[in-house]
């Protein structure tokens, strides 16, 4: 079927689906309130378009004309400062309805101080407002679905009848995370309302090229526990009824609803787009007939709620209000602060020295210390919630790290997630947005963290920065990593350099049981998101054992451990390769009589540059050893910093020993050729010492 034919069939179905909805009447006051909200939003869009044309500061505009009725109706239902809003970038009218002022919209548009969304850090229309519980929005379409489901889970746990609002266009529902979110929300009866404003286009791509069914409404018919409503989004009353029903269901504990509102996009996708390139002249000419403001005006006049003159007066008054706001905003200073709020800036255990570890007692394996740290911290903080694949009940994780947590703390605090890493990270992200919740999630293997990467790097790591400290994502992501276990290509990967490279994410990688406990406990008391990498080869290694450092022990991040003091060469490493370093140092002592100072970094963000430089000042030689690939590995960063800041101290070039730039194969004889071996370290140390 051609695109045009598909459009026609879809249009027919639209009429059929929307005609059946009840038509509860709204009062004159509510109609006029919506009308004002719609006109204010449209006037602001026109104002911003003008500012853009005049080159007065904005560089980009994305607008909502055509979608105002649906949004104004939704804003009547959701409660500002009570419910939680995960918005679409076209949701300006909804934001205004909740209470965002024209000044605030324009501060954001012109990147002036006082922009409540991002302090000028994000493009316009990336809404956020802490006091109104409008959660910071990134530019990634589709990430909001899982976050809103996670927030719904928090609302359910809190039992106060609060609801999460989640809005998007229909194109964005093609993202896999949409289906994952519906699944999770339906499975857990999350009080989340998914509001899809179907304007038929995703930039230039028509719905018929996007979705196998006529509408996303039809496409998701099979989710048990998901209520669905389709409505005419050009009609305030129809949308209000749909949203009200969805909100009431959610609030009383009946679970999620998908509301699909058919709307129209009157303007181009954005100021960078030209709709004439993909919409016919006829289609564009007919859009005006579907303008919801004009339709509402006709309704108001027909029902004697207002006269034409009164409506014109409202428009003129709002135009003046917007012009006044514009003049005031143009006088405001530009946002200047670009560097703060990457991390939490107050004192916290991961940035402060903790108590000394206890050193007596039976040495314990690392996996047991990780398990004990979680038990102790969950007892201490009842907002810690553990989830991931197979973490619950009898099994307690494929490596038994979470063993006993469900039995001890109940299924709500340690539950199995669906087999979907984006779900795990996205739900955690939403849960961590407020209320003190502290998700402690497990990604089963580092090799499988990639489906979650959008949520981790673009959402979790950026949340505090992009919202100018209004929102944050304190959580811990535990993930077993690394090789030396014949795990083959997909159970051996190191992910150090990928994540250590991202501002906003703390990264830890212990090599000993006591460090693992101290770092994990500090992470769980932190205000920042922490990626906690666990070298699985060390889980039960006798050489990684240490006595339990104690229930109060927390270990500051960014402080290396001197594994072996030495005089002649510094060997910097972390994770699995600490053991290779120890073996190599012994051989060097024997063969050359030289003493090697081994430093275990323990964390990669932050990493202890000063500690390394102090050692290099003494030894004047340095080798960096790690398990991740050589090219672009974290060793390159360390080596470059030593070169930049301590060149004069060096008697030899800094050398790196790392995995070959090859995937880690399964066979023992093959793995040995790829992952760093003791002999490689001995060879590099010898070369450095003999330089
Ligand atoms: C993950 C991601 N991919 C691509 C983009 C670029 N992009 C921004 S908006 C958009 C279209 C979204 O369409 P739809 O969901 O229908 O919403 P509408 O703009 O029609 O309201 C695209 C492709 C993005 N921001 N994020």
**485 shares a domain with 597:** no
User: Using the 8-state DSSP alphabet, how is residue 542 labeled?
Assistant: G
- Of the candidates 520, 548, 534, which has an alpha carbon nearest to the alpha carbon of residue 364? 548
Closest CA to 656 of 682, 687, 630: 630
Q: Which atom of ligand 1 is nearest to the CA of 140?
A: 26
Evaluate: CB of 140 within 6 angstroms of ligand 1. Answer: yes
Beta bridge partners of 205: 202
Residue 553 lies in a domain: no
- Specify the residue with its C-alpha closest to ligand 1, atom 11: 202
According to DSSP, the β-strands at 257-262 and 363-364 are: unpaired
Report H helices in 20-142. 28-53, 68-77, 92-98, 102-109
Q: How far apart are CA 529 and CA 287, in angstroms?
A: 46
pLDDT for the residue 1: 40
CATH code for the domain in which residue 442 is found: 3.40.50.970
- Eight-class DSSP state of 357: P
Q: Residue 161 — left, alpha, or beta (φ > 0 → left; ψ -120 to 50 → alpha)?
A: left
Same domain, residue pair 471 and 580: no
Same domain, 233 and 202: yes
In a domain, 276, yes or no: no
Given 499, 521, 547, the domain boundary residue is: 547
Euclidean distance between CA atoms 28 and 20, whole angstroms: 24
Domain that holds residue 625: 561-689
Q: From ligand 1's centre to the CA of 623, what distance in Å?
A: 46
Spacing, Cα 77 to ligand 1 middle (Å): 26
Cα within 13 Å of Cα(671), Cβ side: 16
Mark whether 325 and 354 lie in a shared domain. no
Question: Which residues, 6 or more positions from 454, have their beta carbon under 8 angstroms from its beta carbon?
Answer: 140, 143, 177, 422
Q: Which of 137, 172, 458 for mutating ligand 1's site (highest number of atoms within 8 Å of CB)?
A: 172
Backbone angles phi, psi at 148, to 5 degrees: -70, -35
Q: Is 367 in the pocket of ligand 1 (CB under 6 A)?
A: no
How far is CA 88 from its chain centroid? 15
Which atom of ligand 1 is nearest to 454's Cα? 1
Q: Specify whether 361 is located in the same domain as 508.
A: yes
Going from the Cα of 171 to the center of ligand 1, the distance in angstroms, rounded, reads 7
Same domain, 52 and 191: yes
CATH number for the domain including 581? 3.40.50.920
Give domain status of residue 297, yes or no: yes
Indicate if ligand 1 lies below 6 Å from the C-beta of 207.
no
Residues of the chain with pLDDT under 70: 1-23
- Any ligand 1 atom below 6 A from CB of 168: yes
User: Which residue's alpha carbon is at the smallest distance from atom 20 of ligand 1?
Assistant: 202
Is residue 339 in a domain?
no
Cβ atoms 532, 523 nearer than 8 A:
yes
Question: Residues with Cβ < 8 Å from 3, sequence gap 6 or more?
Answer: 206, 208, 209
Name the burial class of residue 503, with classes exposed (0-12), middle (13-18) and buried (19+) by CB atoms within 10 angstroms of its CB. Answer: exposed
Structural domain contains residue 356: yes
Q: Give the catalytic positions in this structure.
A: 491
Final residue before a domain boundary, out of 512, 547, 582: 547
Regarding the beta carbon of 198 and ligand 1, being less than 6 Å apart is answered no
**Helix or strand holding residue 334 (H, E):** none
Domain tally, the chain? 3
From 523, 547, 571, give the residue that closes a domain.
547
Closest Cα to atom 7, ligand 1: which residue? 141
Looking at the fold, whether 365 and 228 belong to one and the same domain comes out as: no
Question: Other CB atoms closer than 10 Å to residue 515's CB: what's the count?
Answer: 25
Q: What token pair was written down for 499?
A: 């994540």
CA of 32 to the centre of ligand 1 (A): 32
Ligand 1 pocket mutation pick from 64, 137, 141 by most atoms within 8 angstroms of CB: 141
In a domain, 336, yes or no: no
Residue pair 660/674 in contact (Cβ under 8 Å)? The answer is yes
Q: What radius of gyration, in Å, describes the C-alpha atoms of the chain? A: 29
For ligand 1, say whether the CB of 63 is within 6 Å of any of its atoms. no
Residue 341 domain-assigned (yes or no): no
**Domain co-membership, 533 together with 406:** yes
- Separation in Å, CA 17 to CA 23, 243, 260, 415: 14, 16, 11, 38
Is there a single domain that holds both residue 63 and residue 186? yes
Closest-CA residue, ligand 1 atom 8, reads 141
Q: 456-474 burial, b for 16+ CB within 10 Å, e for fewer?
A: bbbbbbbbbbbbbbbbbbb
CA distance 547 to 544: 10
* Phi, psi angle pair for 327, to nearest 5°: -60, -40
142 C-alpha vs ligand 1 centroid, how far in Å? 8
Answer yes or no: do 538 and 585 share one domain. Answer: no
Alpha helices in 332-420 (DSSP H): 366-380, 405-409
Q: What is the pLDDT of residues 7-61, one digit of tens each?
A: 444 444 433 344 344 457 899 999 999 999 999 999 999 999 999 999 887 789 9
Tell me, yes or no, whether 227 lies in a domain.
Answer: yes
Residue (of 195, 245, 155) closest to 72 by Cα position: 195
On whether both 367 and 312 belong to a single domain, the answer is no
DSSP H stretches of helix in 140-224: 143-158, 176-187, 216-219
Ligand 1 proximity of 144 Cβ (cutoff 6 Å)? no
CB of residue 139 inside a 6 A radius of ligand 1: yes
Distance 485 CA to ligand 1 centre (A): 42
Give 338-343's long-range contacts (Cβ < 8 A, gap of 24+): 338/121, 340/469, 341/464, 341/465, 341/468, 341/469, 342/464, 342/465, 342/503, 342/504, 343/464, 343/504, 343/506, 343/527, 343/528
pLDDT at 57: 75
* Terminal Cα distance for the chain, rounded: 73
Q: Are residues 488 and 628 in the same domain?
A: no
Contact 266, 66 (CB under 8 A): yes
Distance between Cα 134 and ligand 1 center (Å): 20
Residue 67 in contact with ligand 1 by CB distance below 6 A: no
Which residue(s) pair with 387 in the sheet?
Answer: 415, 441
Tell me, using a 6 A CB cutoff, whether residue 269 lines ligand 1.
Answer: yes
- Predicted TM-score of the model (pTM): 0.96
What is the three-class DSSP state of 230? strand
Confirm if 405 and 391 have CB atoms less than 8 A apart: yes
Nearest CA to ligand 1 atom 21: 169
CA of 224 to the centre of ligand 1 (A): 28
Q: Nearest Cα to 69, choosing from 221, 229, 217, 239?
A: 239
Q: 173: CA distance to ligand 1 center in Å? A: 10
Closest ligand 1 atom number to CA of residue 139 = 25
Determine whether the shortest distance from the Cβ of 172 to ligand 1 is under 6 A: yes
Alpha-carbon gap, residue 469 to 47, rounded angstroms? 29
N residues, the chain: 691
203 lines ligand 1 (CB under 6 A): yes
| 8-state DSSP, 146 | H
- Dihedral Cα 350, 351, 353, 357, nearest 10 deg: 20
If residue 188 lies in a helix (H) or strand (E), which one and from where to where?
Answer: none
DSSP state of 287: G
Tell me if 556 sits within 8 A of 349, measured CB to CB: yes
């Amino acid at each position: 079927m051609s695109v045009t034919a598909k459009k026609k069939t879809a249009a027919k179905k639209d009429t059929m689906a929307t005609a059946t909805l009840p038509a509860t009447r709204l009062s004159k006051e509510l109609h006029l309130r919506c009308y004002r909200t719609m006109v204010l939003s449209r006037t602001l869009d026109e104002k911003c378009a003008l500012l853009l044309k005049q080159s007065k500061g904005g560089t980009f505009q994305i607008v909502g004309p055509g979608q105002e009725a649906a949004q104004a109706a939704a804003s009547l239902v959701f409660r500002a400062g009570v419910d939680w809003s995960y918005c679409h970038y076209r949701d300006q009218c909804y934001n205004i309805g909740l209470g965002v002022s024209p000044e605030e919209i324009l501060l954001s548009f012109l990147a002036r101080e006082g922009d409540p969304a991002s302090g000028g850090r994000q493009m316009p229309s990336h809404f956020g407002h802490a006091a109104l519980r409008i959660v910071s929005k990134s530019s990634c379409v589709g990430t909001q679905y899982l976050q809103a489901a996670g927030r719904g889970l928090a609302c359910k746990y809190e039992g106060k009848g609060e609801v999460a609002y989640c809005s998007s266009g229909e194109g964005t529902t093609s993202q896999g995370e949409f289906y994952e979110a519906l699944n999770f929300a339906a499975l857990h009866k999350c009080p989340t309302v998914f509001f899809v404003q179907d304007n038929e286009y995703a930039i230039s791509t028509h719905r018929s090229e996007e979705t196998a069914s006529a509408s996303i409404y039809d496409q998701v018919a099979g989710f048990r526990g998901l209520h669905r409503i389709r409505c005419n989004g050009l009609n305030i009353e129809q949308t209000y009824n749909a949203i009200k029903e969805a909100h009431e269901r959610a609030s009383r504990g009946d679970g999620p609803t998908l509301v699909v509102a058919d709307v129209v996009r009157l303007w181009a996708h954005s100021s960078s787009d030209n709709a004439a390139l993909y919409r016919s002249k006829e289609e564009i000419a007919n859009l005006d007939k579907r303008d919801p403001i004009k339709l509402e005006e006709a309704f108001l006049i027909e029902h004697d709620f207002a006269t034409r003159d009164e409506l014109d007066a409202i428009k003129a008054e709002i135009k003046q209000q917007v012009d006044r706001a514009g003049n005031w905003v143009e006088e405001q200073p530009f946002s200047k602060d670009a560097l703060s709020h990457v991390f939490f800036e107050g004192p916290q255990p991961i940035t402060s020295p903790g108590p000394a570890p206890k050193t007596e007692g039976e040495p314990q394996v690392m996996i047991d210390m990780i398990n004990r740290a979680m038990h102790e911290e969950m007892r201490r903080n009842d907002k810690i919630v553990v989830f991931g694949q197979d973490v619950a009940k009898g099994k307690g994780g494929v490596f038994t790290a979470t063993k006993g947590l469900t039995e001890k703390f109940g299924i709500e605090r340690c539950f199995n997630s669906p087999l979907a890493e984006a779900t795990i990270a996205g739900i955690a992200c939403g849960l961590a947005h407020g209320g003190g919740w502290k998700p402690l999630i497990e990604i089963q293997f580092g090799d499988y963290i990639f489906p979650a990467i959008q949520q981790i790097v673009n959402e979790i790591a950026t949340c505090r920065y992009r919202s100018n400290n209004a929102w944050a994502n304190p959580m811990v992501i535990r993930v077993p990593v690394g090789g030396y276990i014949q795990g083959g290509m997909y159970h051996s990967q190191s992910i150090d350099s990928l994540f250590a490279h991202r501002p906003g994410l703390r990264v830890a990688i212990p090599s000993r049981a006591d460090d693992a406990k101290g770092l994990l406990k500090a992470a769980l008391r932190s205000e920042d998101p922490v990626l906690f990498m666990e070298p699985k080869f060390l889980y039960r290694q006798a050489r990684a054992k240490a006595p339990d450092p104690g229930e109060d022990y927390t270990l500051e991040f960014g402080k290396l451990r001197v594994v072996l003091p030495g005089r002649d060469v510094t060997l910097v490493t972390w994770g699995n390769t600490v053991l290779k370093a120890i073996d190599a140092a012994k051989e060097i002592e024997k063969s050359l009589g030289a003493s090697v100072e081994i430093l275990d970094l323990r964390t990669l963000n932050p990493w202890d540059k000063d500690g390394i430089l102090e050692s290099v000042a003494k030894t004047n030689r340095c080798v960096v050893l790690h398990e991740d690939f050589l090219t672009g590995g974290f060793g390159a960063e360390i080596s470059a910093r030593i070169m930049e800041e301590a060149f004069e101290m060096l008697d030899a070039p800094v050398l790196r020993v790392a995995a070959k730039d090859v995937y880690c194969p399964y066979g023992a004889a093959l793995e040995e050729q790829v992952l760093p071996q003791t002999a490689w370290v001995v060879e590099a140390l010898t070369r450095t010492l003999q330089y």
